[in-house]
Each structure stands twice: as structure tokens, then as C-alpha cells.
């Protein structure tokens, strides 16, 4: 994902500045302190600090010379076998500058590497252990070959907690002179869902329009419907008012420019907030999953959403 100007501006350069992932940071700090570390595999959702921590490792190990000792590749752009055989191998076989005995190769989105490229990477990791360390970043570690996983220390990142997101918001608001109320902080956390990069993108977009950030502006810039409005759609359907529910849903999709997959994910979250018995909530979640699958397979999103609302009406009438 492309980073915003703010994402680069507020990217930490020391371990102490990193928000969240404290258990992982402490272990990595110990590796850096001894200037000895294994190959690393960082896996987890987008925007939770995998790339940031990789760059902090490089800066802390090499200081001002870190750029000369680090090769950073995005495997989703360059994911063929030639990249591993030429670029990676040529960089790995040369000695590092400074007193650290190895260079660092950061492979972002390494789960996008082809199987052939991963096989070549496996041999490269073996052959150049003395002169290079690999940091593989992946959203899904299951897409990395087992032989590569066994050569790495694996660290699994989790989405940032609300308190950690609020700390980032406070820092950005102070630096940029933004007025952000606790209610707006909650709205920002809801739209970013623990993804710090998305948070900074949304904040930057909002700040261009106004220094006083409102919940309406946040939901509008994030192209997300307000949870309260999604809840109203479902509540109307549960009460048996199908036509009003359908009208409200279509209005939401048009106002916020939402696709069917966007709205079904928000519906899935709001089902738990409905005032119906738990057994019915489980039934609705099951149906929600079925509708989402049909949309992914190419079904008409409006037909599928109407069928879902009709099902909600039937469940509510029982």
C-alpha cells in the first residue's frame, strides 16, 4: 500500500517510538544490542508496524550508513525468480560496511513471491548466512514455504489496540494543530480497525478540509457508513419493515459510495449490537458469510443484499 506523506513523517526511528507490539519490540531490541540476529519473518495485517520495525532495526544497527547496508524490495512488484537470483544474490554476497558482520535484505509482501522464487530464496538464505540477514514481511505466513519458515524466527503482529491508536492520534493532532474530540477518536479507531497507516491516511485527508475534525468528516473520508446508520437498517428489517430497511440501505450505499462487500462487512460487525436473542444473531452471521461468498464469486450485490434483508425480516418475525 502507498504510504501518505504523514505516514513517512511520523514513522518511528527508535524502538521507544513504536506503538504496540511491545513483546516483539523487546525481543528484537535484544537481537540488535548483541549485533547478532537470525533471519526474521514478520506476519500480520496491514499497517501494524512490520515495515516500520524492519527499518528501525536497520537504523539502530548501522546508524547513518543504514541505506548502504539495506536492500528493500517489495515482492508484490518484483516477485519473479530473476529478482532473487540477480538483485538479492548480488547484494547478499558483498560484505557490510561498518562493524556489523551482515547486511539486511527486507522483502516486503514476501507472501506474493512465486513458489519458484521462494525456492531460490531458500538456497540464497542458506548460502549467504555470514554476510546477509533476511527480514521477510507477509500478511499471510501460510503462503511462505515451510522450509523458509523453519529458517526464520517468526513474529506475529496484531492490530493496534484502541489506547495505542489514541496515542498516535494525540501525537499527530498536537504536531498538526488539529482539534479532535474523544468521540472523533472513537470514530477514527472504528474506521481504521487497528491499522495505523489507514489512520494517518484518513487523518491527513480530513485535515486538508478542516483543522476541526468531526465524526461525519471521518466517516465520509474513509468511505464508511456510520455504525449507527447500519444498525438502523438492520433494526428496521428485524421489526419486519422490509421496504424502509431496503430504502435506507440503498441510500447509505449511494451517500458513502459503498460497494456491496464494504457494507456486508459493516453489517457483520453490527449484527452483534442488535436487540435480538443470540441464536438469531448466529443465524444472521451465517447468512452474512454466505452472501459475502456469493458477492466474491460474482453475484449481483443489490440482489444479494436484498435477499439478506429479507432473511433478517424472516428471522425477526419468528
Q: What is the CATH number of the domain that holds 204?
A: 1.10.8.60
Identify the CA nearest to 284 among candidates 307, 312, 259: 312
How high is the pLDDT of residue 80? 64
Please check whether residue 223 is in contact with residue 256, taking contact to mean a CB–CB distance below 8 angstroms. yes
Is the residue at 10 inside a domain? Answer: no
**Which residue shows C-alpha cell 548466512?**
129
Q: How far apart are CA 34 and CA 54, in angstroms?
A: 17
Identify the CA nearest to 311 among candidates 296, 293, 289, 226: 289
- Please check whether residues 49 and 86 belong to one and the same domain: yes
Identify the CA nearest to 164 among candidates 12, 28, 270: 12
- Please check whether residues 262 and 306 belong to one and the same domain: yes
Is the residue at 121 inside a domain? Answer: yes
- Please check whether residues 57 and 118 belong to one and the same domain: yes
- Please check whether residues 181 and 274 belong to one and the same domain: no
- Nine cell digits for residue 203: 487523518
- Determine the structural domain holding residue 144 and report its residue range: 21-156
- Please check whether residues 192 and 258 belong to one and the same domain: no
- Please check whether residues 184 and 117 belong to one and the same domain: no
Is the residue at 297 inside a domain? Answer: yes
How high is the pLDDT of residue 175? 87
Q: How far apart are CA 274 and CA 272, in angstroms?
A: 6
How high is the pLDDT of residue 220? 83
Of 194, 221, 248, which residue constitutes the final position of a domain?
221
- Please check whether residues 186 and 65 belong to one and the same domain: no
Please check whether residue 66 is in contact with residue 98, taking contact to mean a CB–CB distance below 8 angstroms. no
- Please check whether residues 246 and 217 belong to one and the same domain: no
Instruction: Give the DSSP H or E segment for 50.
Output: helix 50-62
Please check whether residue 29 is in contact with residue 23, taking contact to mean a CB–CB distance below 8 angstroms. no
Whole-structure pTM value = 0.80
> What are the φ/ψ torsions at residue 171 (nearest 5 degrees)?
-65, -45
Q: How far apart are CA 229 and CA 241, in angstroms?
A: 15
How high is the pLDDT of residue 79? 59
Identify the CA nearest to 152 among candidates 122, 113, 128, 119: 122
**For the chain, what is the domain count?**
3
Is the residue at 5 inside a domain? Answer: no
- Please check whether residues 237 and 209 belong to one and the same domain: no
Q: How far apart are CA 213 and CA 102, in angstroms?
A: 46
Is the residue at 259 inside a domain? Answer: yes
How high is the pLDDT of residue 1? 45
10-residue mean pLDDT series, the chain (318 residues): 64 82 89 89 90 90 86 71 74 82 89 85 86 91 91 91 90 89 91 88 89 89 86 93 93 85 90 91 94 93 94 90
Is the residue at 116 inside a domain? Answer: yes
Instruction: Give the DSSP H or E segment for 262.
Output: helix 260-270
Instruction: Give the DSSP H or E segment for 249.
Output: helix 242-256
> Which residues, 6+ apart, have CB-to-CB distance to 305 below 8 Å?
249, 260, 263, 264, 291
Is the residue at 302 inside a domain? Answer: yes
Amino acid at each position: 500500500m502507498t504510504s501518505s506523506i504523514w505516514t513517512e513523517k511520523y514513522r518511528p526511528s527508535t524502538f521507544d517510538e513504536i506503538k504496540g507490539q511491545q513483546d516483539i519490540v523487546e525481543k528484537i531490541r535484544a537481537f540488535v544490542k548483541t549485533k547478532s540476529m537470525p533471519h526474521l519473518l514478520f506476519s500480520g495485517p496491514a499497517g501494524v508496524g512490520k515495515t516500520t520495525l524492519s527499518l528501525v532495526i536497520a537504523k539502530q544497527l548501522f546508524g547513518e550508513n543504514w541505506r548502504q547496508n539495506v536492500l528493500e524490495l517489495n515482492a508484490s512488484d518484483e516477485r519473479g525468480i530473476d529478482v532473487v537470483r540477480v538483485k538479492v544474490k548480488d547484494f547478499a554476497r558483498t560484505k557490510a560496511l561498518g562493524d556489523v558482520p551482515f547486511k539486511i535484505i527486507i522483502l516486503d509482501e514476501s507472501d506474493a513471491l512465486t513458489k519458484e522464487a521462494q525456492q531460490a530464496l531458500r538456497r540464497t538464505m542458506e548460502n549467504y548466512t555470514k554476510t546477509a540477514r533476511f527480514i521477510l514481511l507477509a500478511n499471510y505466513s501460510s503462503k511462505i514455504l515451510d522450509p523458509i519458515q523453519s529458517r526464520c524466527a517468526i513474529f506475529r503482529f496484531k492490530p493496534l489496540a484502541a489506547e495505542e491508536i489514541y496515542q498516535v492520534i494525540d501525537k499527530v493532532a498536537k504536531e498538526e494543530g488539529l482539534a479532535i474530540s474523544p468521540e472523533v477518536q472513537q470514530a477514527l479507531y472504528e474506521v481504521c480497525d487497528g491499522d495505523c497507516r489507514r489512520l494517518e491516511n484518513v487523518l491527513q485527508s480530513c485535515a486538508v478540509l478542516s483543522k476541526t475534525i468531526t465524526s461525519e468528516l471521518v466517516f465520509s473520508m474513509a468511505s464508511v457508513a456510520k455504525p449507527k446508520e447500519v444498525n438502523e437498517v438492520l433494526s428496521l428489517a428485524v421489526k419486519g419493515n422490509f421496504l424502509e430497511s431496503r430504502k435506507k440501505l440503498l441510500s447509505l450505499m449511494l451517500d458513502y459510495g459503498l460497494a456491496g462487500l464494504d457494507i456486508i462487512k459493516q453489517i457483520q460487525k453490527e449484527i452483534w449490537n442488535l436487540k435480538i436473542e443470540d441464536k438469531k444473531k448466529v443465524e444472521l452471521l451465517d447468512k452474512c458469510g454466505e452472501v459475502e461468498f456469493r458477492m466474491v464469486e460474482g453475484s449481483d450485490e443489490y440482489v444479494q443484499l436484498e435477499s439478506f434483508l429479507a432473511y433478517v425480516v424472516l428471522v425477526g418475525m419468528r
